[in-house]
Structure 1
Amino acid sequence: MTRKVGTIRDVADRVGLSIATVSRVMNGARNVAPATRDKVLEAIRALNYLPNPAARALSTAKSRTVATVIPSIEHSIYAKFMGAVERTLAEQGYSLVFAVSNGVAEQEHAAVQKLLGMGAEGFILSGQAHGAELTELLDLRRVPYVFTSVYDPDSAVPTIGYDNHALAAEAVRFLRGEGHERIAVLHGPLDTNDRARARLAGARSAAPVAAFEGALDVAGGKQAARAALAEANRPTALLCFSDVLALGACFALAEAGLSVPGEMSVMGFDNLDWTSELVPPLTTMNLPARKMGQEAARQLVERLETGVPLASARFDGTIITRGSVAPPR
């Protein structure tokens, strides 16, 4: 049998209180006596009442919804991040909505407009490079927002993430410490990804490196690795700015009959869940995506609830040393 769903009026009639009082309980207002709150919540459970989010947003001018726009949902680094954002928001009674930009500015702007129309009260945006029209739109609406996956203490917009320049430089210094003087960097498209540009600049600040671009997927990693192997002065180590690119590079090396790490060392970025299961396991730069997501969500909720200003936060990466890197022969 289908259980009848009650309305907010049914709840109010059952407890002998006004609809306004029931609404205050549902919205977590603090000016409600504990006994009254318990009575209302008991009636809600008894009547199987489910509040209408849209109606509540209209009556309170708050949707308790935060939005995030990410470049892709095809890589598990975003799953880690989004999962942490959603859990942190849920703990505070907020919901998450998201859209995918595919790294295209026009798609990102359209997504933000759509999410604003859905009542999103705050935004989490990947990277630091966004069109002026997009940020002007959010500023005009007085909607708080943060940039993630980057850290720039001089940014006018709070950044919560990593110093990509410093991390890439650290990775190059690590490989040179293992004895590698000829290092090739494999990266995704630079024109749509400011994080990749920062990492390449950081790598080059630490040592002269060759750079090879490919699509940010396994096939792109294979393509970039093949280009590196075709160089007359072939590198002895491949530094990949994504574990997905590193996986493609490993496939390309296997096809070329080259062993890892005996004839070529490979290092990734991200520390995705499967990297420890590769043969050999992948040495990689661990990025604390979950902590970053938690911090971005926590700050936005605090800003929406109390008006506390958003602040930049830096999360350091750590090199996870495994079997894919060894001194060159």
Structure 2
Amino acid sequence: MTRPVGKIRDVAKATGLSIATVSRVMNGGKNVSPNTRDKVLAACKQLNYLPNPAARALSTSRSKTVAAIIPTIEHSIFAKYIASIEHSLAQRGYSLVIAISHGDLDEELAAAQKLLGMGAEAFILSGADHHPDLLDLFTQRGVPHVYSSIWQPASAAPSIGYDNTALARAAMDYLTGHGHHHIAVLHGPLTESDRTRDRQAGAQAAQRDGLTLDFHETSLDVAGGKAATRALLQSANRPSAIFCFSDVLALGALFALSEAGLRVPEDVSVMGFDNLDWSGETAPALTTINLPATRMGAEVGTQLMDHLDNGTPLGPVRLDGAIVERASVAPVTRRG
């Protein structure tokens, strides 16, 4: 049975507050005590009251809507990140709208134009590579925006994310510290992602005497990881370790090595990047790099709301990732 929809005056009556105070809470207004906010939100839930977004926008000139344009929703790290943003925004009465760019700058531009037409007040973009027309559009209209999943203090907009270069370098140091001196590196298309290019730079920075690195570009999916691993196994000089710039590529590598009758990590070590939800459940469990997706989502959401509500300046934030040691990497001395 459908519950009747309450009205703002019903909430005011139930809480003993004025309609103006209830309205201020629902619009994320200032000078509202936590106790008052909690009382109003509880009454709204009990009375099934939701403010009309169109009416709110007309009365306040605010849509309280933030847009996020991401390359894909297929990988759990993006789902975790988006869920964190939405949770952060909801605490203060904001809504989140999402568009998928498929890593295409023209698609991203078209999506942003559409979302601006829908009233989006601020934008969250992945990485720092964007269509120049998009950045011009934001500048002309004064649209607040941040870059996520990347750390570039000198970028055109504030970056809130992790240092992909440093994390890739840390992974290489970890592998060489385990005695690996011939490492294959699997990565997605370099032209589609500055995050991938940063990780490549980090891996290359680890180059030293006696270390052989083989870079293999492939599609950013399990099939791409399998195909690239099959190809590198054709070499007479098989690498002792495979470092993948994504866990999905690492999963493909695990499948290909198993099909070839090779043991992980006894014959070949495998390391990923992302720490996707399932990475601890592979056989063997995948050693990888954990990315702070949940913390990043909360930081992005909070910064944009503080800016929109209070004029607080947006600023870059570097978040730390960490190596997660599991069972897919072993010292070379343990190889059979």
TM normalised by structure 1 equals 0.90
Partners of 2:301 and 2:274 in 1: CA distance: 20
CA deviation map 1:287-321 (0-9, x unaligned): 11111111111111111111111111111211111
* Secondary structure of the corresponding residue to residue 191 of structure 1: helix
Q: Which residue of 1 aligns with 2:262?
A: 258
Partners of 1:40 and 1:206 in 2: CA distance: 56
The Cα of 1:26 is off from its aligned counterpart by: 3.7
The Cα of 1:55 is off from its aligned counterpart by: 1.6
Partners of 2:38 and 2:273 in 1: CA distance: 50
Q: Which residue of 1 aligns with 2:149?
A: 149
8 Å contact from structure 1 (residues 127, 195) kept in 2: yes
* Secondary structure of the corresponding residue to residue 266 of structure 1: strand
Aligned: 1:227 with 2:219: no
Q: Which residue of 2 aligns with 1:121?
A: 121
Q: Which residue of 1 aligns with 2:134?
A: 134
Aligned: 1:280 with 2:281: no
* Secondary structure of the corresponding residue to residue 184 of structure 1: strand
Partners of 2:41 and 2:319 in 1: CA distance: 40
8 Å contact from structure 1 (residues 185, 210) kept in 2: yes
Alpha-carbon distance change, 18 to 243 in structure 1, aligned in 2, over 3 angstroms: closer
Partners of 1:104 and 1:33 in 2: CA distance: 44
Partners of 2:9 and 2:25 in 1: CA distance: 14
Q: Which residue of 2 aligns with 1:249?
A: 253
8 Å contact from structure 1 (residues 151, 314) kept in 2: yes
Stretches of structure 1 that go unaligned for 5 or more consecutive residues are none
Alpha-carbon distance change, 191 to 7 in structure 1, aligned in 2, over 3 angstroms: same
Partners of 1:109 and 1:312 in 2: CA distance: 23
The Cα of 1:32 is off from its aligned counterpart by: 8.3
CA deviation map 1:47-87 (0-9, x unaligned): 75432101211221111111101100100010111111111
Aligned residues: 329
Aligned: 1:61 with 2:61: yes
* Secondary structure of the corresponding residue to residue 211 of structure 1: strand
How high is the sequence identity, in percent, across the aligned residues?
62
The Cα of 1:151 is off from its aligned counterpart by: 0.3
Q: Which residue of 2 aligns with 1:315?
A: 319
Q: Which residue of 2 aligns with 1:82?
A: 82
Stretches of structure 2 that go unaligned for 5 or more consecutive residues are none
Alpha-carbon distance change, 31 to 189 in structure 1, aligned in 2, over 3 angstroms: closer
8 Å contact from structure 1 (residues 212, 227) kept in 2: no
Alpha-carbon distance change, 290 to 203 in structure 1, aligned in 2, over 3 angstroms: same
* Secondary structure of the corresponding residue to residue 324 of structure 1: coil
Alpha-carbon distance change, 93 to 265 in structure 1, aligned in 2, over 3 angstroms: same
Q: Which amino acid aligns with 2:150?
A: V
- State which drifts further: 104-113 or 21-30: 21-30
Partners of 2:127 and 2:92 in 1: CA distance: 25
Among 269, 272, 275, the alignment partner of 1:268 is 272
Partners of 1:273 and 1:87 in 2: CA distance: 19
Aligned: 1:109 with 2:113: no
* Secondary structure of the corresponding residue to residue 186 of structure 2: strand
CA deviation map 1:209-265 (0-9, x unaligned): 111111111101101111221223221100000011000000000111111001100
Partners of 1:20 and 1:113 in 2: CA distance: 34
* Secondary structure of the corresponding residue to residue 51 of structure 2: coil
Alpha-carbon distance change, 136 to 247 in structure 1, aligned in 2, over 3 angstroms: same
Aligned: 1:303 with 2:307: yes
Q: Which amino acid aligns with 2:187?
A: H
Q: Which amino acid aligns with 2:74?
A: E
TM normalised by structure 2 equals 0.88
Alpha-carbon distance change, 180 to 32 in structure 1, aligned in 2, over 3 angstroms: closer
Q: Which amino acid aligns with 1:327?
A: P
Q: Which amino acid aligns with 2:253?
A: A
Partners of 1:319 and 1:12 in 2: CA distance: 51
Q: Which amino acid aligns with 1:235?
A: P
Q: Which amino acid aligns with 1:103?
A: G
- What CA RMSD, in Å, does the superposition of the two structures yield over aligned residues? 2.9
Partners of 1:198 and 1:75 in 2: CA distance: 20
